[in-house]
Chain A
């Protein structure tokens, strides 16, 4: 398996624009997580899904953020409208509902909002 795949690797956008980040989890994994990483706050869990259903979105900072998982092999994180303070690295991770399994991370998307 190619691992968790995120796209794009880098995104530069202007303030006010819509940004969509994409993630393809590892095949067969039933949990998917979206994290945001910044120097100030470290790794923050934004939202996670189990079997395509959002379980906990309490980490989503504002209504400008939304995430979907239309099927087991694809998820999106959308920011609309984007703001400079959204600049961060966004990670997607997936895992299996087994005990002692770790989360497998994608390479991350570095988002810069100017």
Chain B
């Protein structure tokens, strides 16, 4: 079975600073997909960034980037130049080749002005 672990229930960062959210997962599959979702107070789940396991290059989306370590089964999210609008819950997710999603328990990020 696949599991996703986010070991940081809460984090805070000063506006304009950089923060890294950690995520580890466990799987026996070799091909899979990883995602970071953001859930602001509006409750809407918003995709932040995705990573294909077969790609060695780390995904980047503007201020958001990942550090994907396949051997270590680690998938951390780095947010650069943090903005107040980044305040939200962040969920790491794993998708297997059967299209089944598994989510971590989330990290609550607060950006401090």
Contact = CB atoms under 8 A, between A and B. Distances in A.
Interface of A: 31, 33, 35, 41-43, 45, 48, 50, 55-56, 89, 91, 93, 95, 97, 99-100, 102-103, 105, 107-108, 110
Contacts of B68: none
Interface in B74-113: 91, 93, 95, 98-106
B99 A95 contact: yes
17 contacts: A31-B99, A42-B103, A42-B104, A45-B102, A48-B99, A48-B100, A89-B43, A91-B45, A93-B101, A95-B99, A97-B99, A102-B47, A102-B95, A103-B101, A105-B44, A105-B45, A107-B43
Interface of B: 33, 35, 37, 42-45, 47, 50, 52, 91, 93, 95, 98-106
